[in-house]
Amino acid sequence: MASMRESHDWSIDRALQLYNIANWGAGYFSINQKGHLTVHPCGQPGPVIDLMDVVDDIRERRLGFPCVVRFQDVLRSRVKQLNETFRNAIAQHGYKGQYFGVYPTKVNQMREVVEEILDAGAPYHFGLEAGSKGELLIVLALNSDPEALTICNGYKDEEYLRLALLGRKLGRKVMVVIEKLSELPHLLRLAEEMNVQPLIGLRSKLSTKGTGKWESSSGDFAKFGLTTPELIQAVRLLHEKGAEGLARLVHFHVGSQLTDIHTVKDVENEGARNYAKLLKMGLALEYFDVGGGLGVDYVGARSNRYVSSLNYTVDEYAADVIYTVQQICASEGVPEPHIVSESGRALTAHHSCILMNVFGHIEFGENGAVHEAHAGQAEKAPVPDAPETAVVREMREIVAGLTSKNSGETYHDAVAKKEQALTMFKLGILGLEERAQIEGLFWRLCRKLVEINKRRKRIPGQTRGLEDKLADQYMANFSVFQSAPDHWAIDQLFPIAPLHRLNEPPTRDSTIVDITCDSDGKIDTFIENETVDETIALHPLREGEPYYLGMFLTGAYQDIMGDMHNLFGRVHEVHVFVDDEDPEDYYIEEVIPGDTMERVLVRVQYEPSDLAKRVKQALDARVREGAVKPKESVSLTDFYEQAMRGYTYLASI
């Protein structure tokens, strides 16, 4: 593909297309005339932030990279969009119920995120969902709107149930969703003891399965929810206790990132039937909670072919939910309930991204040898010619004989010759210099084959896939395990694009590796145009000039699931707000420094001062031996202690 990206036909439009920015960007991202990536935090038109200005800001503050940037206005815009969309669908269909969404805190529990969502959602009485005691502690303190819902999901012990009932004492609409039958009598008993009326939700285990990555978390064998016989038992129990009037909500959640709108319809259908039948059995149901699952188009392909894409919009989702529930209610002759959704991914994914610098690349070089080039370092000279042995000469002849007609056989011959040379090397009859020449010739052949393959329609089987194997590896200053754990764990795709030089053709096909010492610490699925590819086109590194990449749509789940692999820890974070008065249209409201070495070491039970003491003692001993000068020992000790206070990632230019 690289050959098709020449400077004469390159343009910013081509860059937009290649990285598919408009399609995954949902209106929040674009490219300006300088060739820099921009953010439109309130959608387009509206204020525009040049991400390179943010990069400069981060550098001026001596923060360094990687750095997470949160656009609080994007969060607000998503909350507004979701609520308005449901309201419009309700108005259009003449639906009788209202929409009361809740934000599932597990998606990102950070205070600034939850507070921003609540604030933007206040006009809509937007509520919060908790899936654990820790989350409920947050929700009880923050969600003070008596109209807004608090939904309690997840398995519950006595303390969890008491906390939920405490919420009722505060006058809040706290729904305890029964995930497991035994929770129900337990809740009723505690409510009586605390002298408070609980509000009860029943989670049903639907037989209809989600589609996409989370398919196995739904269906008859799912972990959460009540089976049909259990639902019947729950109703009986409520009747026995005269508590039917307390059951206000039915709930289901068939998994995250639903890729197919047909599944949404099926699921709503089954769920709505449950609602109608349970209502007819005497429960006082008012709310129909459709759970999460509203997806995000990370690829921008608008297709259910990819698990990181989907074939519907938020508008279609809301319309389908409203329409399906309305149809079922009409056919069952029951009132239309209020609609609740627990959309987390769709609210938060777009609002944050991670900015990182590339500090070098590994290239399967033109001159043969694999070599490393650093941002700021000249390329190495080729290996000087040694007197040629037979096997080297034969390899040279094979390579020289390459034509587009014999490329398959030539490749085959070269692989065999390379293997022969390896055998000779192992037997000690071929030197390291000769082996280097053989490998150099082989890589040169591969490069030529890639060139030939680009010009032909049908590629011989032997040489298929060579292009991706020969792709450069750009080394980026970040950890996949901390900042994109879902890419490592479940092959989730996150869009990546350069933050600048987008007015130049990106001529290097590359993959991206991180700085962990783990061969899984890499990214090898990217967006190219509207499809998924194993490489990404990047710009050649320039001497002494930093090169920046952004990874986008990382606002859902990634922050909180990131881990400490290799002790890299949490990354720096800046919170950006739109400001029309500012010449750059924004200001940084808050800086949250990432982990220092000290902090991550404490987390794995080391005492930094103890470590420093041990190093100092070892240095003192060397001073006594006369191996190190006393003054040098003092500065080395200082240096060690200073490193302890530093950022865990690579210092960048």
Residues that bind ligand PLP (CB under 6 A): 104, 106-107, 131, 153, 253, 256-257, 291-294, 342-345
Task: Count how many Cα atoms sit within 13 Å of the Cα of residue 420 in the half-sphere of its side chain.
Answer: 13
d(CA 211, CA 58): 40
Nearer to ligand PLP, 121 or 292 (CB): 292
Q: What angle do CA 130, 131, 133 make, to 5 degrees?
A: 80
Nearer to ligand PLP, 344 or 569 (CB): 344
Q: Secondary structure of 208-222 in the HEC alphabet? A: CCCCCCCHHHCCCCC
Which residues lie closer than 8 Å to 622 by C-beta, 6 or more apart?
A: 628, 633
Nearer to ligand PLP, 316 or 518 (CB): 316
Please, what is the angle between helix 111-121 and helix 72-93, to 10°?
Answer: 40
Nearer to ligand PLP, 257 or 648 (CB): 257
Nearer to ligand PLP, 342 or 439 (CB): 342
Task: Count how many Cα atoms sit within 13 Å of the Cα of residue 523 in the half-sphere of its side chain.
Answer: 32
Of the candidates 8, 2, 4, 18, the one whose C-alpha atom is nearest the C-alpha of residue 502 is: 18
Burial of 293 (0-12, 13-18, 19+ CB in 10 A): buried
Nearer to ligand PLP, 212 or 368 (CB): 212
Smallest separation (angstroms) from ligand PLP to the CB of 154: 8
Question: Which helix (H) or strand (E) is 74 found in, with range?
Answer: helix 72-93
Smallest separation (angstroms) from ligand PLP to the CB of 201: 11
d(CA 18, CA 27): 16
Smallest separation (angstroms) from ligand PLP to the CB of 557: 7
Distances (CA, A) of 594 to 59, 572, 573, 608: 15, 4, 7, 17
Nearer to ligand PLP, 50 or 129 (CB): 129
Smallest separation (angstroms) from ligand PLP to the CB of 553: 13
Please, what is the angle between helix 72-93 and helix 314-332, to 10°?
Answer: 30
Find the residue with minimal CB distance to ligand PLP. Answer: 292
Smallest separation (angstroms) from ligand PLP to the CB of 307: 13
Task: Please say whether the beta carbons of 338 and 545 come within 8 A.
Answer: no
Nearer to ligand PLP, 107 or 356 (CB): 107
Smallest separation (angstroms) from ligand PLP to the CB of 131: 6
For the chain, the 3-state helix, strand and coil shares in percent, each to the nearest 5, are 45, 15, 40
Nearer to ligand PLP, 257 or 511 (CB): 257
Smallest separation (angstroms) from ligand PLP to the CB of 102: 9
Q: Are strands 536-538 and 508-513 parallel, antiparallel or unpaired?
A: antiparallel
Smallest separation (angstroms) from ligand PLP to the CB of 255: 7
Smallest separation (angstroms) from ligand PLP to the CB of 103: 9
Smallest separation (angstroms) from ligand PLP to the CB of 178: 13
Helices (H), 98-209: 111-121, 133-142, 158-169, 183-194
Cβ neighbours of 108 (radius 10 Å): 27
Nearer to ligand PLP, 81 or 389 (CB): 81
Residue 38 token pair: 């921009």
Nearer to ligand PLP, 66 or 131 (CB): 131
Nearer to ligand PLP, 220 or 451 (CB): 220
Q: Are strands 102-104 and 127-130 parallel, antiparallel or unpaired?
A: parallel
Smallest separation (angstroms) from ligand PLP to the CB of 346: 6
Cβ neighbours of 458 (radius 10 Å): 7
Question: Which helix (H) or strand (E) is 26 found in, with range?
Answer: none
Smallest separation (angstroms) from ligand PLP to the CB of 257: 6
